[in-house]
Amino acid sequence: MSVRFTLEKRTNKFGECPIRLSWSFGGRRYQTTIGYSIMETDWDEKNSLVKPEMKNQSGQSADDINFYIKRISLVVASIEQHFVGKEKALDTDTMKHAISDALSKDIARPEDILERCLEGWKALPEIKTRYYKDLAGRYYKFLCEARNFYISVDKFYILQELFGRGERVAVPTDKFKPQKERRSMYPITSFKEVNYEEVYGQ
């Protein structure tokens, strides 16, 4: 298969290596990390899977991570089957969207991802993930908006940390506003929105 999974040489603060995929097809290549990191000793290089009964520092099990590795492989195989003979029609932007969808919990079936690919992501609604970076350089994925009626702050953003423990944090939406729009209780910019390419090193 033209998609490969490997461990990067760099490690996070727990000594874990990010899992990276490389997809080559029709003279094009798309590479990215898939959002999971493990110890080098927990990687089955021959089968490109995580060894059984492993949990990383974020609490993600081998079964959880291998589920997405296998799903990506299924999605790639389905897409390539449809593009045989017309390889040049599959561009890197489409490859990127396919991998992003394969890692999403919002689209359950590989068949739906293939349909979005064949429709050029026009017929079905686009699923846009928002990412943020804090002052310490940590990256987060936006999950949802919430309210707390027991305190004065009206709204919160619920964010999930990436490349670390995967902890979820509730952040007042005021912390995302420019300084001149702030209430006095939030003197500095705490979070800024960043794009997919910055988060995953594209």
Does the residue 124 lie in any domain?
Answer: no
Domain boundary pick from 118, 143, 171? 118
Whether residue 110 is found in the same domain as residue 160: no
Whether residue 141 is found in the same domain as residue 104: no
Average pLDDT over residues 79-100: 77
Higher pLDDT residue, 89 or 28? 28
Q: How far apart are CA 94 and CA 84, in angstroms?
A: 15
pLDDT score for 126 = 47
Cα separations in angstroms, 5 against 18, 45, 163, 185: 10, 9, 17, 46
**Span 42-69, pLDDT tens digits:** 999 999 999 998 999 989 999 999 999 9
**Span 90-137, pLDDT tens digits:** 778 888 888 888 887 666 577 777 777 766 644 434 456 788 888 888
Whether residue 96 is found in the same domain as residue 65: yes
**Span 162-198, pLDDT tens digits:** 877 777 888 887 777 665 544 545 445 578 888 887 8
SS3 73: helix
Domain boundary pick from 118, 153, 176? 118
pTM above 0.75, yes or no: no
- Total number of domains in the chain: 2
Q: How far apart are CA 65 and CA 77, in angstroms?
A: 19
Does the residue 125 lie in any domain?
Answer: no
Whether residue 46 is found in the same domain as residue 99: yes
Q: Please, what is the average pLDDT of the chain?
A: 79
| pLDDT at position 85 over 80 | no
Containing 32, the helix (H) or strand (E) segment is: strand 28-38
Whether residue 97 is found in the same domain as residue 144: no
Whether residue 35 is found in the same domain as residue 104: yes
Domain boundary pick from 118, 145, 170? 118
Does the residue 123 lie in any domain?
Answer: no
Does the residue 164 lie in any domain?
Answer: yes
Is residue 6 a contact partner of residue 17, using CB atoms and an 8 Å limit?
no
Range(s) of the domain holding residue 60: 3-118
Is residue 137 a contact partner of residue 191, using CB atoms and an 8 Å limit?
no
Whether residue 89 is found in the same domain as residue 41: yes
DSSP-assigned letter for residue 51: P
Does the residue 160 lie in any domain?
Answer: yes
pLDDT score for 180 = 54
Whether residue 48 is found in the same domain as residue 138: no
Whether residue 22 is found in the same domain as residue 114: yes
Does the residue 126 lie in any domain?
Answer: no
Whether residue 54 is found in the same domain as residue 144: no
Does the residue 101 lie in any domain?
Answer: yes
Whether residue 49 is found in the same domain as residue 73: yes
pLDDT score for 173 = 78
Higher pLDDT residue, 166 or 150? 166
Whether residue 41 is found in the same domain as residue 113: yes
